[in-house]
Structure 1
Amino acid sequence: MADPHASSTSPPTAPLIGSREMPPWQIGELREAPPMSLKSWTQLIGPGLVMGGAAIGAGEWMAGPLTTAKYGGAILWLSTLSILGQVVYNLEISRYTLYSGESIFTGKFRLLPGPFFWLALYLVLDFGSVFPYIASAAATPLAAVMVGEIAQPTETYQLLGVSLTGDALLRTLRYILFIGMMTPLIFGGTVYNSLKGLISFKIVVVLGFLITVAFLYSNAETWIEILTGFVKFGSVPVMGGGDDGQPLTQNIFVSLWNGDGFPVIDSRMLAVLGALAAISGSGGLTNTAISSYTRDQGWGMGANVGVIPSMVGGEKMQLSHTGMIFLVTAESLRRFRGWYRYVLRDQLVVWMPACFVGIALPCMLSIQFLPRNTQARDWEAAALTANGLRDAAGPVWGQFMWFAVLFCGFLVLAPNITTTAENALRRWVEVSWTALPPLRRWDPHRIRYLFFGTLCAYAAFGLVSLTLWDSVRLLKWAAALYNAAMGFSCWHVLAVNLILLPRELRPNWFLRMGLLLAGVFFMGLAVISAYSIWNEVKI
């Protein structure tokens, strides 16, 4: 990768646009994008792979079964809108990175009133990313595999000659998992390469098992329910559903058309539904990592800026303090469109399908093996699903399938401890690296020390959170903040691309409207989730 500091003569700088507290861009040349062909397929395996694999996580494995166990597939249309909104968002943040080599977060800080204003605002909006709800949840399936059943808090278990209550076992595993899954962020040369290896293993094992289960044990009715659920726009849970044979869900538009008025929505599930939508795909500000991965992949002007090195193995790597843009000419526009086609294919061929598959397969398990209107809390839905699959598989393969479902649950969640932490740390390290004058005076190689120090602070807060709160509570809190952050960020990205990008590179009107409506959708979910959580607190 090109070293932006290899020459003693600094490249020319561009006129400063936006806040004068941010350093001006340098000017460089946009290199040619590799031609599209089957031989260049490996060029596609980049940001979409990492984020697509990370998309199979807590929202899909916890919030998905919690909702589909009760309502079936009728509510999955929320995931459809969430994923489509995120596709538009991901395309637009990558557009900025292809032009400047900077992450979109740095671009946001370039707008007025300046980086310190945005720093304070996004510290609040991004606070959901520091809640370690995934580590809290991942301990449950791991403990079940270890003791042969879902660990009960008051029961005593023998492990390696040591007696532990279920509560002590779960608490210990939460701490071990949370700290242990930070290790890939310390080694591997670039943090990005470490994540690609970890996520590739997860995708092969988890999706391979779920596809096998779907082929052997699911039926056509289950898949019809899931696939139609993705497009049942307007279906909502209603009060009294399931009582005396009453429907569990009603469609708002059908109810109004028939003159029955607006359905009485069951507000008790609103926070979980908001969590499903918030974490379908990536969710919250975790999507902003797409722009950083686009740079680390060397796409567009990212090849001129550098990468974030890991603490061990990345001594020769560095990240420039400032972005580098290209002058707009007919030739550079042609090259830019070539790189944008890679981003478009990465999102539509890898990331978006991975998100839908990541939701459909876990939901398939609960829809197939649990009766409708099953009431479940926390990890009970996953445990009940494992029991259902064990019964369906019979005496020969039943116990193996039980273990396999829970192990896959662990394998889904555990790597996401790493990706969630890396996403949050990457955002703040990159912004600090460019926005804070004291850090701009550091040698570019020293960014790995900043990353490692921030990682230690993140880990310390996570340990405190794991001690105080349970996984579902952390999930609901994080989801409300995720939706608010994503909604506002959609509007902010639209402003960045309309103000900082040359007119020839700005998004078309279709993408502008997509960002605007996506912001409305996620902000609406944030308000609904906050209302539901507030009602729970009052109760």
Structure 2
Amino acid sequence: MASASIGTGEWLFGPAISAQYGGTLLWLASVSIMVQVVYNLEVMRYALYCGEPIHVGMCRLPPAPWFWITGFVVLEFSNIWPFNASNAAVPLAAAMLGHLPGQGSTRFLGVQMTESGLVKVLGYAVLLGSFVPLIFGGKIYRMIERIMTVKLVVVLAFLTFVAVFMTSRHSGLEVLQGFLRFGEVPLRAQSVIEGRHFTLQERAESTSYTVRGTVEKGGPLVTEFRVEREGMAASYASLGGVPAELRGIADRLIARARAISARGGFFVEDARADAMVRLEGRLRPDHTWALEQITVTDDTGVRSYTRIEDLPASLVGRARNLVELQGVDRANLIRYWREQGRLPRLDWAMLAAFAAIAGAGGLTNSLFSNYARDKGWGMGALVGAIPSAVGGRTIALSHVGRVFPVNRESLVRWQGWMRHIRRDQVLWALCCVLGMGMPCMLSLEYIRNAPVSGNRVAALVADGLAARHPEFGQLLWLLTLFCSFLVLAPGQILAGDQIARRWTDILWTGSKWAQRLPQEQVKSIYYSILACYGVWGAITLWFFDPLQIATISAVLMNVALGMTSLLTLVVNRRLLPPELRPGSIAQLGLLACALFSLGICGVVLGTR
């Protein structure tokens, strides 16, 4: 399962968050990974004892299995979005087009289509292709394990090489510190232009206008034009959708952003109640910022400076952070709440998605109990596994688990099993940190302040690497796109398997109809569920862009993880023998997991 620790969250949301906010928020990943380790250990504890996945144990709780199955149907809504397929299509499309998918058109298989349409078509291809290793390959878990191991080796080798030889010490240090900056939040300036990437805002009385985009060879590519007025906001993903009465404002902002970007340096405007601070300068060869001009506007007038040390004392720390962190200031979350009476204006939905998928996320974590069973750990060695449809041995899966009598001899064996899964989780957590940290290092180094949009984020790092190192541009472009695909496409295989596997286990034990089937027929249920998921995935890919699909799914994953944390606590306290139940620290860890996961969802709802 360590290979699954480098997936959509690490490759999409980690770099997306780092590009916009620097490394400040990586502590959310630290907290998420820590509480998920506790959750994983506890669901595996149950599987070690009886060989059943944790969801089967939950169905054994009162009032009845149908009650919990209904609840799982609701929670499963977080997992049925094929975001891996939609995002794996982005690097494929980029490789075919030779550039990031944008607003142009292309011809594919003799058909003229938009570049976003090409992403959708390739998303369908990835979705269908993800079913192949689940159908052919013997014992399903073994096939997935082989695929994920190849992914882990190749991607980690590439990331390690780039992180060591092509990333600055400054970016690495910022990532490392970010994992430990608990409670700090970024305050991003309203306008940040760095090189060819721009976010530019202007205000007219109570209305603000913001344009985001990137200056490319064919001109500026606008990824968002946003209008906020009296608490209401309207966002347009392209200029084509901007109303005629706003088009002049949008064009003027774009022209200004393009003119500033043409200077090749940086430009920041940060307006707060006390003063508006404007910072301008040049980019050093290592792409750190060299400040040249500071302009402060407040009630007393407009003043210019060339050194941060000459600023009023109240502005020194703010200006220094804006330069060192390249457009971002920092604040303590609790202190900010007390002073401002609200949370900072961040993309909380994306932050919730980032926290959810840092590690595994949602109901995916519950599959660690299936993992323990299918590896034959504990009593899982006695209950069987789910075979593939074609090419597999005849493998039976028992309808019920098997337990052992608790005595001195079995307790010694039990402690050995628990030590084994703890070692497994230490390795998993380490891989999670590396899997999140290294893509974020690349993000800080190569796409900091780049706008994040639905059809581009999965290949943004490839674009940044190629632009920074033109002498190796084509090679780096293709290698990074290949790794991006290698991260995301196997994730779709795992996603399809986990949904089919989870519901097969639930129905196999909880449904009277399924219990009448021979043990060798478990695969008929598995593949029926997989087929339903494929139909739903095809519908979803048509209506949503890749980043939307991933964000919707990941935010809902927090709800699923929080609720099942509480259920796992109840299961292990009620169904395990007293000698095998979790201790106080583990129980508090499950409560912390629920509080963190549900709490961040509450923040998303409260800030909409």
- Please state which band the TM-score falls in when normalised by the shorter chain: 0.7 to 0.9
Contact residue 252 and residue 263 of structure 1 kept, 8 A: no
2:71 aligns with 121
Among 372, 375, 395, which residue is 1:294 paired with?
372
> Quick one: distance in 2 between partners of 1:434 and 1:184?
26
Answer yes or no: is 1:450 the counterpart of 2:528. Answer: no
Query: Would the aligned equivalents of 1:132 and 1:466 in 2 still touch at CA under 8 Å?
Result: yes
Q: How does 1:341-360 map to 2 (within 5 A)?
A: 341-349=419-427, 351-360=428-437
Q: Is the 8 A contact 1:217 1:392 kept in 2?
A: no
Q: Are the aligned partners of 2:455 and 2:546 in contact in 1 as well (CA < 8 Å)? A: no
Length-normalised TM-score, structure 1: 0.85
Amino acid at match of 2:528: G
What do residues 42-72 of structure 1 show as CA deviations (whole Å, max 9, x unaligned)? xxxxxxxxx2212211111111111100111
Distance 1:279 1:64 in 2: 9
Tell me whether 1:77 sits opposite 2:77 in the alignment.
Answer: no
Distance in 1, matches of 2:59 and 2:109, equals 52
1:251-400 pair list within 5 angstroms: 251-252=331-332, 255=335, 261-262=339-340, 265-349=343-427, 351-371=428-448, 373-395=449-471, 397-400=472-475
Q: Does 1:56 align with 2:6?
A: yes
Q: 2:139·2:387 contact (CA, 8 Å) conserved in 1?
A: yes
Contact 2:24-2:330 within 8 A present in 1 as well:
no
Partner secondary structure for residue 359 of structure 2: coil
Return the alpha-carbon distance in structure 1 between the equivalents of residues 133 and 350 of structure 2.
Answer: 31
**What's the offset of the Cα at 1:470?**
1.4
Partner secondary structure for residue 251 of structure 1: strand
> Partner residue of 2:154?
205
The aligned residue for residue 139 of structure 2 is: 190
1:191 is aligned with what amino acid? Answer: I
Q: For residue 504 of structure 1, report the CA deviation from its aligned partner.
A: 0.3
Q: Do the aligned partners of 2:53 and 2:373 also contact (CA within 8 Å) in 1?
A: yes
Residue deviations 1:292-327, cap 9 Å, x none? 110111110001101111111234101000000001
Distance, in Å, in 2 between the alignment partners of 1:135 and 1:57 is 12
Q: Alpha carbons of 1:230 and 1:441: their partners in 2 closer, same or farther (altered >3 Å)?
A: same
If the length of structure 2 is used for normalisation, what is the TM-score? 0.75
Q: Secondary structure at the match of 1:327?
A: coil
Give SS of 1:528's match: helix
**Separation (CA, whole Å) in 1 of partners of 2:91 and 2:54:** 36
Residue 436 of structure 1: CA displacement? 0.4
Task: Point out the more displaced range, 217-226 or 385-394.
Answer: 385-394
Q: Number of matched residues?
A: 477
Post-superposition offset of 1:164: 4.2
| One-letter code aligned to 1:220 | R
Change (3 A) 1:260 1:304: closer
Deviation at 1:92, TM superposition (A): 0.5
Compute the displacement of 1:87 (Å).
0.2
Tell me how far 1:170 sits from its aligned partner: 1.6
CA spacing shift, 1:380–1:464, aligned 2, 3 Å: closer
Q: Considering fraction of residues, name the structure with more helix.
A: 1
**2:158 counterpart letter in structure 1:** F
The AA in structure 2 aligned to 1:188 is G
1:360 maps to amino acid: G
Decide whether the 8 Å contact of 1:83 with 1:280 is kept in 2.
yes
Q: Partners in 2 of 1:307 and 1:320 — Cα distance? A: 8
- The answer (yes or no) to whether the contact 2:50–2:401 under 8 Å persists in 1 is yes
**Secondary structure of the corresponding residue to residue 130 of structure 1:** coil
Aligned AA for 1:208?
A
Match of 1:477 in 2: 552
Distance in 1 separating the partners of 2:120 and 2:32: 33
Give the match for residue 414 of structure 1.
Answer: 489
Opposite residue 53 of structure 1, the aligned amino acid is S
Q: How much has 1:156 moved relative to structure 2?
A: 1.9
Provide the residue aligned with 2:232 in structure 1.
Answer: none
Q: Does 1:67 align with 2:17?
A: yes
- Partner deviation per Cα, 1:67-87 (whole Å, 9 max, x = no partner): 100111100000011100100
Aligned twin of 2:213: none
* Cα distance in structure 2, aligned partners of 1:148 and 1:154: 12
1:250 alignment partner, SS class:
strand
Of the candidates 84, 101, 109, which is equivalent to residue 134 of structure 1? Answer: 84
SS in 2 for 1:90: helix
Q: 221, 231, 247: which one pairs with 2:170?
A: 221
Aligned counterpart for 1:402 among listed residues 471, 474, 477: 477
Q: Secondary structure at the match of 2:469?
A: helix
Counterpart AA for 1:61:
W
**Worse-superposed segment, 325-334 or 311-320:** 311-320
Is residue 199 of structure 2 the alignment partner of residue 250 of structure 1? Answer: no
1:122 Cα shift?
1.3
User: Structure 1 CA distance, aligned partners of 2:54 and 2:566?
Assistant: 13
In 2: Cα distance, 1:461 partner to 1:172 partner:
15
CA RMSD of aligned residues (A): 1.9
> Structure 2 matches for 1:35-54, cutoff 5 A?
51-54=1-4
Distance 1:340 1:520, change over 3 A: same
Given that 1:62 and 1:379 are in contact with CA atoms closer than 8 Å, whether structure 2 keeps it comes out as no
Counterparts of 1:107 and 1:427, CA distance in 2: 12
Q: Which moved more, 1:242-251 or 1:70-79?
A: 242-251
* CA pair 394-285 structure 1, distance change in 2 beyond 3 A: same
SS of 1:76's equivalent in the other structure is helix
Map residues 428-447 of structure 1 onto 2, 5 A cutoff: 428-447=503-522
For the pair shown, which has the larger CA radius of gyration, 1 or 2?
Answer: 2
Deviation at 1:260, TM superposition (A): 7.3
Shift in Å, 1:201: 1.0
Distance 2:401 2:459 in 1: 48
Q: Which amino acid aligns with 2:31?
A: L
Q: Hey, what's the Cα distance between the residues in 1 that align with 2:519 and 2:391?
A: 16
2:118 is aligned with 1:169: yes
The one-letter code matched in structure 2 to 1:286 is: T
1-structure distance, mates of 2:393, 2:374: 16
Aligned to 2:59: 109
Q: Which residue identity does 1:250 align to in structure 2?
A: R
Summarize the Cα distance change of 1:108–1:249 in structure 2 as closer, same or farther, 3 Å threshold.
Answer: farther
SS at match of 1:238: strand
Give 3-state SS (helix, strand or coil) of 1:236's partner. Answer: strand
Which amino acid in the other structure matches residue 88 of structure 1? V
1:368–1:422 CA distance, 2 compared to 1 (3 A): same
Q: Structure 1 residues 478, 254: CA separation in 2 closer, same or farther (over 3 Å shift)?
A: closer
| Higher-strand-fraction structure | 2
Q: Does 1:517 align with 2:595?
A: no
Tell whether the 8 Å contact from 1:386 to 1:405 is kept in structure 2 after alignment.
yes
Paired residue secondary structure (1:156) = strand
Deviation at 1:231, TM superposition (A): 0.9
Separation of aligned partners in 2, 1:312 and 1:360:
39
Structure 2 residue 580 is the aligned partner of structure 1 residue 505: yes
CA distance in 1: counterparts of 2:490 and 2:455, whole angstroms: 18
- Give the match for residue 48 of structure 1: none
Instruction: Show the counterpart of 1:29.
Output: none
Please say if residues 116 and 455 of structure 2, whose CA atoms lie closer than 8 Å, have aligned partners that are also in contact.
no
Report the 3-state secondary structure (helix = DSSP H, G, I; strand = E; otherwise coil) of the residue aligned with 1:281. Answer: coil
How far does residue 147 in structure 1 lie from its aligned partner after superposition? 2.2
SS of the residue aligned with 2:330? strand
**Post-superposition shift, 1:476?**
2.0
Q: Return 5+ residue gaps in structure 2 as ranges.
A: 193-269, 271-276, 280-317, 323-327
2:413 and 2:338 map into 1 onto residues whose CA distance is 56
Provide Cα deviations, 1:480-506, integer angstroms capped at 9, x if missing partner.
Answer: 210001011111101100000000001
Task: State which drifts further: 264-273 or 465-474.
Answer: 264-273
Q: Aligned-pair distance for 1:251? A: 3.1
Superposed CA deviations along residues 449-498 of structure 1, whole A, max 9, x for unmatched, are 11111111110111011111112222222122100010111111011000
Within 2, Cα distance between the matches of 1:124 and 1:517?
22
Paired AA for residue 494 in structure 2:
T
**Equivalent pairs: percent with the same residue?**
40
Structure 2 Cα separation of the partners of residues 267 and 123 of structure 1: 33
- Kept in 1: contact 2:455–2:545 (CA 8 A): no
2:501 corresponds to which residue? 426
Q: What is the alpha-carbon distance in structure 1 between the residues aligned to residue 447 and residue 530 of structure 2? A: 40
Runs of at least 5 residues in structure 1 that lack an aligned partner in the other structure: 1-50
